[in-house]
């Protein structure tokens, strides 16, 4: 048996998300089905992040224990030959036996894209959140910077999600503007369910002038009802997962 580390990219538009479900295409399910053909037995694949339906990835990482002898370059080619076109294996590496895509991760980086213009191209519709009215970027920059550090992010957690704790450390939280394509970059040691989308929704409400820059209050005992709406999934991309 060997442990594989697989780096993946996918267009999440037609997936029900990362996690295998009773109905619908999942990234995990597609990958497990193809790996099982090589192994001759069922294979369980673990992902670094459980992306939701419509969410994309440039640098998702998965791990799997398999009994195959193919070299990593051959495995990469063979997997891509059988996977659907909206899911690609960027690389396959041999990893230590105790490597786990989720539990071994030290940081994850997400991007969120907003087309801030009166009209959005139809070719962007699966990759951006279209916000047509002008946004106050200075206020959004300042509010985003307040998220850096170790805080309790309970106000940005989906209601009903079960986690042992809500304290996370954010290393990077910043916006950049490229001719009306706003990209929010956030990296941290872990994220709660829908946390990035809740943060983006809150920052956009600040940029719209719908709410004050109340980030400190939300981080000091705020509730989910007091934060902004959850941004739509299609603008979110899992960009990178870092390991020791």
Q: pLDDT per residue over 55-94, tens digit each?
A: 999 999 999 999 999 999 999 999 999 999 999 999 999 9
Question: Which residue in 11, 41, 52, 98 is the catalytic one?
Answer: 52
Q: Is the pTM of this model over 0.85?
A: yes
What are the contacts of 193-196 at 24+ separation with CB within 8 A? 193/50, 193/157, 193/158, 193/161, 193/163, 194/52, 194/156, 194/157, 194/158, 194/161, 194/230, 195/153, 195/156, 195/157, 195/168, 196/110, 196/112, 196/236
Per residue in 142-151, pLDDT tens?
999 999 999 9
Does residue 84 sit in the same domain as residue 136? no
Does residue 91 sit in the same domain as residue 7?
yes
94 is an active site residue: no
Question: 219 is in which domain, residue-wise?
Answer: 106-243
Angle at 211 between CA 205 and CA 212, to 5 degrees: 120
* Residue 233 · residue 129 · CB < 8 Å: no
The count of domains in the chain is 2
- d(CA 56, CA 51) in angstroms, rounded, equals 8
Residue 101 lies in a domain: no
pLDDT tens for residues 81-134?
999 999 999 999 999 999 999 999 999 999 999 999 999 999 999 999 999 999
């Amino acid at each position: 048996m060997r442990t594989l580390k697989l780096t993946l990219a996918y267009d999440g538009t037609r997936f029900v998300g990362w996690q295998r479900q009773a109905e619908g295409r999942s990234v995990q399910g597609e990958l497990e089905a193809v790996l099982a053909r090589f192994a001759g037995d069922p294979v369980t694949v673990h992902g670094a992040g459980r992306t939701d339906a419509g969410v994309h990835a440039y640098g998702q990482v998965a791990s799997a224990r398999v009994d195959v002898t193919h070299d990593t370059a051959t495995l990469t080619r063979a997997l891509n030959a059988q996977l659907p076109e909206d899911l690609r294996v960027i690389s396959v590496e041999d990893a230590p036996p105790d490597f786990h895509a989720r539990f071994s991760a030290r940081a994850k980086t997400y991007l969120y894209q907003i087309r801030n213009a009166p009209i959005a191209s139809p070719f962007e519709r699966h990759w951006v959140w279209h916000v047509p009215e002008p946004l106050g970027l200075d206020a959004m920059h300042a509010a985003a910077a307040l998220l850096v550090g170790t805080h309790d992010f309970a106000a940005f957690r989906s209601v009903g999600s079960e986690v042992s704790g809500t304290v996370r450390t954010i290393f990077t939280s910043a916006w950049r503007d490229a001719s009306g394509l706003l990209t929010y970059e956030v990296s941290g040691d872990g994220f709660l369910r829908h946390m990035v989308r809740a943060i983006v929704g809150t920052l956009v409400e600040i940029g719209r002038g719908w709410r004050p820059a109340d980030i400190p209050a939300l981080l000091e005992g705020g509730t989910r009802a007091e934060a902004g709406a959850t941004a739509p999934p299609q603008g979110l991309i899992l960009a990178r997962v870092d390991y020791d």
